[in-house]
Amino acid sequence: MGTTEVVEEVVTPLLEPRGLRLYDVELAGGTLRVVVEREGGIDLELLGELTREVSVALDAADPLPGRYTLEVSSPGLERTLRRPDHFAGALGTRIRVKTKPGTEGDRRVEGELVAADGEHVTVQVDGGTRTLALHEIERARTVFEWGPAAAGTRKKGKATTS
């Protein structure tokens, strides 16, 4: 079992009582990122409490040799898409993909994610669709789209009133 799988086993029981779900675990250099999510979002106070609990649990389990920096966060509005379940959860949203060098076609693809089957993703782009194998993707993330401005907000340099 790999390091990230051990971390998942240690962290998951701490999340469920709070209605949280583990979104991702990533070990990059000397940083261990534990990314959690909850319907309606997560506030900083909860992230602080969770960071302390995860730190204690990881110290007890000792899944990583040597020193590391622990980061516990939420995935944010623009979420990194790395695993098949990330792509499946982003169906119907706008995504931005950068393919690996040597992949046929444009390296940058942006559009609506219309299909994800665990091995491939299909993005609706201007003029059709583009299907990519997951192994062809260097990085991908969702794209947050701002909605229309609320009434009474500034537009085009002029103040509006209600």
* Six token digits for residue 129: 């669709």
User: 17-30: per-residue pLDDT in tens?
Assistant: 999 999 999 988 88
84-142 is classed CATH 3.30.465.10: no
Residue of 36 and 152 predicted with greater confidence: 36
User: 40-65: per-residue pLDDT in tens?
Assistant: 889 999 999 999 999 999 999 888 87
CATH code given to domain 3-73? 3.30.300.70
Instruction: Write out the residue limits of the CATH 3.30.300.70 domain(s) in the chain.
Output: 3-73
User: 103-148: per-residue pLDDT in tens?
Assistant: 999 999 999 999 999 899 999 998 899 999 999 999 999 998 887 7
Query: What's the pTM?
Result: 0.75
- Exposure string of 112-123, with b = 16+ CB inside 10 Å and e = fewer, is bbeebeeeebbb
